[in-house]
Amino acid sequence: MSSKSLQQARNYEKIYGGKIGEEERPLFHVSPKIGWMNDPNGFSWYQGEYHLFYQYHLFNTSWGPMYWGHVRTKDFVQWEWLPTALAPDTEYDNAGCFSGSAMELPDGRHMLMYTGVQEWKREDGYTESRQVQCVAFGDGADYEKYEKNPILTQADLPEGGSAEDFRDPKIWRDEKENRYYAVIGNRPADGSGSILLFSSEDTLHWEFVTVLDNCKNQYGKMWECPDFFILDNVAVILTSPQEMRARGMEFHNGNGTIYITGNYDPETHRFDRTEVRAIDYGLDFYAPQTVLTPDGRRIMIGWMQSWETSHSQPHGSKWFGMMTIPRELHIINGRLIQNPVRELERYRSEPVLYRDVDVRERIQLPQVCGRSLDMTVRVRPAGEKLYENFTIKVAKDTENYTAISYTPGSSILRFDRSNSGFRHDIIASREVLVRNQSGELSLRIIMDRFSVEIFANNGEQAISSTIYTPQDAASISFEANGMAIMDVEKYDIVIPRKQDTNPE
């Protein structure tokens, strides 16, 4: 049954979503049909396609009562919008359908598991709220909320757990055990964050298993949007802590993202940490979620935005918030390695190759320019003497540029978007320590109109950021203090226009 709120949302996005020109949006990154988008939700493989949902407030470009927007794709590059999937239209989710996940059930139904936020006013005027877990079932287009929702409430929490911060279920099925599991973020009595593990035989009746990991006030406070999987024989938790404290160049203040590697015993469900590190070192990355593809790849997508700067929007924008390029994950030498999905390579066109280019003063290379591109730059010293630094400026014209610079002496890679179209005084730069390789560095740079994603040293580090530079600022320059040598491999990313592939 489709509620009035859902109908209204579907009508609204149909009328106004279509009014946004294709060139006003990213070319191959997911953006909302209209209005505001945050976290990726329900990233899943369903009947031959990948589905992705997103936190959606379509009526303006600010966060508000959450709906679930919906897109699908065959290859993580060309996405198609589907009508809004969930609306906050019941008593248990009247204040929002918060983040969650999805999976295909053995009987062919698509199941969504999400957090319902319920708010009510007390007699004294104070607004109370609680978060519960809910499910909905559908066919990849329309979803019906389960009549006995919620399926997990305060009553299911371990002692000291918080009913106000109990959210973001990530579900999976353990084929060997023939059971479902879900990790859910919560706040224990110390006010920080924890990840609770629940299990179920049928997706409707759940029991608490254990606290998989606890923040203990070490890595921020509330741990949002947990994910848990085994990757290359290592147990990996992803989570997005609120209220992080900066720590060197590893973590920055505010909302951050971390991965925790460890050992997991499936018998006792005990997880023992090995290492905790940042997932992405850029300015805009939050709430990532993964999907396992039929060919066994673990693919992660994140919200390419930070909460702290989400008020900084281009004047008059009709949409706001976008996703990262989906990334293939691996664990190599205990570290999370991420690279753009290989499917992106199918959309490379106009190859431009330069080898052994001497870089001293600023240079530009013929045909190396653009705003939707996939470019790899490999730099190394010319002879014995190390260059002092090496800078690439992209999205450049006489007024604007976005700078990526490397100082091999300190192994610091710096990203700076101070001149990238922002009209607010926002955080504009970040520094990250890359592996010291005596001045050798490889950077794969993915640009898509309003974003720059950098993958350093074959995915050892990712740096994701939005930019709002006018689109005609499309030059690229290279310069070095001292002498450096570089190779450049650059492709335009070209997506066939929607009208060509999918006439309506």
Q: Does 66 bind ligand FRU (CB under 6 A)?
A: yes
The residue (of 323 and 480) whose beta carbon lies closer to ligand FRU is 323
CB closest to ligand FRU, residue no: 98
| Measured distance CA(39)–CA(278) in Å, rounded | 18
If the CB atoms of residues 405 and 464 are measured against ligand FRU, the closer one turns out to be 464
Q: Is 174 a catalytic residue?
A: no
Q: Determine if 227 is a binding residue for ligand FRU (CB under 6 A).
A: no
Contact 485, 357 (CB under 8 A): yes
Is the CB of 98 or the CB of 406 nearer to ligand FRU? Answer: 98
CA–CA gap between residue 421 and residue 465 (Å, rounded): 13
Is residue 99 within the footprint of ligand FRU (CB under 6 A)?
yes
**Considering beta carbons, is residue 225 or 322 the nearer one to ligand FRU?**
225
According to the binding rule CB under 6 A, does residue 115 interact with ligand FRU? yes
Distance from the Cα of residue 251 to its chain's centroid: 17
Binding of ligand FRU by 225 (CB under 6 A): yes
Is 287 one of the binding residues for ligand FRU (CB under 6 A)? yes
DSSP, residue by residue, 375-405:
EEEEEEESSSSPPSEEEEEEEESSS-EEEEE
Residue type, 404: I
Closest to 54 (Cα-Cα) out of 341, 328, 323: 323
Can you point out the beta strands (E) in 122-257? 127-138, 143-145, 166-174, 179-186, 194-200, 206-214, 223-231, 234-241
**Is residue 238 a contact point for ligand FRU (CB under 6 A)?**
no
Residue 369 CB, shortest distance to ligand FRU, in Å, is 35
Which of 13, 89, 93, 168: binder of ligand FRU (CB under 6 A)? 168
Q: Quick one: which of 13, 39, 328, 374 contacts ligand FRU (CB under 6 A)?
A: 39
* Number of H-type helices and E-type strands within the chain: 2, 32
Letters for 188-207 (x = contact with ligand FRU by CB under 6 A, - = none) are --------------------
Q: Which is nearer to ligand FRU, 320 or 455 (CB)?
A: 320
Q: What are the φ and ψ backbone dihedral angles of 152, each rounded to 5 degrees?
A: -140, 130
Handedness of CA 219, 221, 225, 229 (dihedral sign): positive
Figure out which of the listed residues 13, 156, 224, 280 binds ligand FRU, where binding follows CB under 6 A.
Answer: 224
**Around Cβ 480, how many Cβ atoms within 10 Å?**
24
Closest distance to ligand FRU from the beta carbon of 76 (Å): 22
Cis peptide before 226, with omega less than 30 degrees from 0? no
Please report the DSSP string for 55-86 in residue order. Answer: EEETTSSS--SBEEEEEEESSSSSEEEEEEEE
Nearer to ligand FRU, 286 or 390 (CB): 286
Work out which of 44, 55, 239, 469 binds ligand FRU, going by CB under 6 A: 55
Please report the DSSP string for 440-492 in residue order: -EEEEEEEESSEEEEEETTTTEEEEEE----TT--EEEEEEES-EEEEEEEEE
The nearer residue to ligand FRU, 101 or 419, going by C-beta atoms, is: 101
Q: Whole-number minimum distance, CB 413 to ligand FRU, in Å?
A: 26
Q: Tell me how far, at minimum, the Cβ of 42 lies from ligand FRU, in Å.
A: 12
Tell me the closest approach of the beta carbon of residue 193 to ligand FRU, in angstroms: 10
Residue 151 C-beta: closest distance to ligand FRU, Å: 17
Choice among 39, 89, 168, 374 that is catalytic: 39
Question: Per DSSP, what are the bridge partners of residue 171?
Answer: 182
Binding to ligand FRU by residue 284, rule CB under 6 A?
no
Contact 341, 77 (CB under 8 A): yes
Binding mask 340-379 for ligand FRU (x = CB under 6 A): ----------------------------------------
For the bound state, the minimum distance from the C-beta of residue 92 to ligand FRU, rounded and expressed in Å, comes to: 15
> Among residues 27, 34, 38, 282, which is the contact residue for ligand FRU, using CB under 6 A?
38
User: Can you give the three-state secondary structure of 195-216, one letter per residue?
Assistant: EEEEEECCCCCEEEEEEEEECC
Among 167, 252, 318, 396, binds ligand FRU (CB under 6 A): 167
Q: What is the DSSP letter of 247?
A: B
User: Minimum distance from CB of 307 to ligand FRU (Å)?
Assistant: 7
What φ, ψ does residue 493 adopt, rounded to 5°? -100, 120
Return residues touching ligand FRU (CB under 6 A).
Answer: 38-39, 55, 66, 98-99, 115, 167-168, 224-225, 286-287
Q: Could you list the active site residues? A: 39
